[in-house]
Amino acid sequence: MAFADPRDANYIASANKPHAATLTADYNALGLQLARRGVDIDDVTRRVAAFKVAIPSWGVGTGGTRFGRFPGLGEPRNVFEKLEDCAVIHRLTGATPTVSLHIPWDRTDDYLGLREHAAGLGLGFDAMNSNTFQDQPGQPLSYKFGSLTHTDAAVRAQAVAHNIECIKAGAILGSRALTVWIGDGANFPGQSHLGKAFERYLESTASIYKALPADWRMFIEHKMYEPAFYATVIQDWGSSLMAAQTLGPKAFCLVDLGHHAPNVNIEMIVARLIHAQRLGGFHFNDSKYGDDDLDAGSIEPFRLFLVFNELVEAELAKAPNYNPAHMLDQSHNVTDPIESLMTSAIELQRAYAQALVVERTRLGEYRAANDVLMSAQTLKRGFTTDVAPILAQARVSKGGAADPVAAYRDSGYRARCAQTRPGKQNPGGGIV
């Protein structure tokens, strides 16, 4: 099979050529439609083009379930190769200039070399993720019964030290945030003292917080259940917010869309965290039942839109201390991870564009007049607008592909990787 480098600007330009005429026609038609609503399409396109989301390094390998993992062809074998795949995603979508690493899955003894490798690929680094939810080979103390909240101070100290190692690695890489998610909790009532476990969490995270460089933020990620099935120490946004407020101004709450009970009103949580000035960022994904880690926008696109609607409201209101980090956190079990990640980044842009085309002034008037039906209809009109031409235009304007998945497939990148990356297919990550 012929191979073309999907990162090559000439290749992308030639892949875009057949789309040029239809894209212009569709964009102009949508522009007229939006102008009738008082919405300037070019302004929306500019904002969409400026939208960025980080790729999770663990997302470029095939994930799995508790039952198994079915590796794909040519998976990246180490963090350097993971970055190469991330560069493909970024070049074709223009939306993913950063990567979020997971330590120790991405541990290397050459972080400076990694930073240079990334820069050469046009990439930087978003939040570092610590991992105290698994034991690593040779690790002195086990996390079986907890990490930052373990009853044994020595285990807590080991988990704190690991987080500090992540900060140090991130400082070399140019990252400016640490995401802390712990699996700590109880599987049985009576197993742990719910109050004391939270106190131990605050004490441990205070030591991590102290090690943050001045311009860093710490993101606290809550999750309702799994691996602890009865009670998780940081199980909800209330615990997360209490912890952030206790720790200090550099601590923020991170919302992973899959970490809530089904039907929970996540956009409401987002609005409250914006109000509290503690919305640190997102782990975007989608789910039907639990922490499914499916592709963003694949199951409940309306909910994603409603989350972005709150973000647009905050943007327009210039909400104080509002600077959320956008990150994907997905597990691709049955698709090509590169295709899933490109599609997901685009789905986020879609939700953002749909929220941007909402007629805000009219919506405000209908709300003020308690016109419930028209308020709902006005908001929904944004969601039902086909903003695809805006997304394609935004990509093309940044040197990306009009149709990223087609350009990727036609390049033969994956087949090429299957040849150049032989051997053991275990890139680390992939939640099995």
Task: Give me the residues that bind ligand RM4 (CB under 6 A), please.
Answer: 102, 129, 181, 221, 223, 256, 283, 291, 329, 431
Q: Round to whole Å and give the CA distance between 347 and 112.
A: 33
Q: Which is nearer to Mn ion, 284 or 308 (CB)?
A: 284
Tell me how far, at minimum, the Cβ of 18 lies from ligand RM4, in Å.
39
User: Is the Cβ of residue 63 or residue 146 nearer to Mn ion in the bound state?
Assistant: 63
Q: Find all residues with CB under 8 Å of 306, minimum gap 6, and list them.
A: 266, 267
Q: Compute the distance between CA of residue 135 and CA of residue 216 in angstroms, rounded to an integer.
A: 27
Are 244 and 222 within 8 A, CB to CB? no
Q: Which is closer to ligand RM4, CB of 15 or CB of 127? A: 127
Q: Which is nearer to ligand RM4, 15 or 180 (CB)?
A: 180
> Which residue minimizes CB distance to ligand RM4?
181
CB 102 → ligand RM4: shortest distance, Å?
6
Which among Mn ion, ligand RM4, none contacts residue 431 (Cβ within 5 to 8 A by kind)? ligand RM4
The answer to the question of residue 329 lying near Mn ion (CB under 5 A) is yes
Judged by CB, which is closer to Mn ion: 12, or 224? 224
For the CB of residue 221, give the shortest distance to ligand RM4 in the complex, in Å. 5
Which among 57-65, 291-299, 344-352, 360-368 is the span making contact with Mn ion, rule CB under 5 A? 291-299
DSSP for 123-159?
A: -EE--EE---SS--TT-SS--TT-STT-SSHHHHHHH
Minimum Å gap between C-beta 106 and ligand RM4 is 12
CB of 300 to Mn ion, least distance (A): 16
Q: Which two tokens stand for residue 73?
A: 């062809």
**Residues linked to residue 65 through DSSP beta bridges, in sequence order:** 68
The answer to whether 113 and 27 have CB atoms below 8 angstroms apart is no
In the complex, minimum distance from the CB of residue 181 to ligand RM4, in angstroms, rounded to a whole number:
4
52 residue type, one letter: K
CB of residue 211 to ligand RM4, shortest distance in Å: 20
Beta strand ranges found along 299-395 (DSSP E) = 325-328
Sign of dihedral through CA atoms 50, 96, 282, 334?
Answer: positive
Residue 414 binding Mn ion, by CB under 5 A: no
Q: Using CA atoms in the order 156, 159, 163, 169, what is the torsion angle rounded to 10 degrees?
A: 140
Instruction: Please report, in angstroms and rounded to a whole number, the separation of the first and last CA atoms in the chain.
Output: 33
Q: Which of 291, 310, 313, 336 binds Mn ion (CB under 5 A)?
A: 291
Q: Is the peptide bond before 56 cis (omega within 30 degrees of 0)?
A: no
Q: State which residue, 256 or 336, has the beta carbon closest to ligand RM4.
A: 256
| Interaction of residue 256 with Mn ion, rule CB under 5 A | yes
Cα–Cα separations (whole angstroms), residue 134 to 29, 71, 235, 241 = 53, 21, 18, 25
The candidate with the shortest Cα–Cα distance to 162, out of 113, 211, 125, is 211
Give the C-alpha separation, 57 to 79, whole Å: 7
Binding to Mn ion by residue 126, rule CB under 5 A? no
Using CB atoms within 10 Å of the CB of residue 171, give its burial: 0 to 12 exposed, 13 to 18 middle, 19+ buried. middle
Judged by beta carbon distances under 5 to 8 A according to partner kind, the member of ligand RM4, Mn ion, none in contact with residue 164 is: none
Q: Which is nearer to ligand RM4, 12 or 127 (CB)?
A: 127
* Closer by beta carbon to Mn ion, 287 or else 385: 287
- Which range of residues in 110-118, 157-165, 275-283, 368-376 is near Mn ion by CB under 5 A? 275-283
Between 91 and 223, CB nearer to ligand RM4: 223
CA distance 49 to 345: 12
Shortest distance (Å) from residue 122 CB to Mn ion:
25
| 129: partner contacted, choices Mn ion, ligand RM4, none (Cβ within 5-8 A by kind) | ligand RM4
φ, ψ of residue 56 to 5 degrees: the values are: -80, 125
Could you tell me the maximum CA-CA distance found in the chain, to the nearest angstrom? 66
3-state class (DSSP) for residue 226: coil
Q: Which is nearer to ligand RM4, 376 or 432 (CB)?
A: 432
Which uninterrupted H or E stretch holds 98? strand 98-100
In angstroms, give the least distance from the CB of 283 to ligand RM4. Answer: 5
What are the DSSP calls for 230-263, one per residue?
A: SEETT-SHHHHHHHHHHH-TTEEEEEETTSS-TT
Residues that bind Mn ion (CB under 5 A): 256, 283, 291, 329
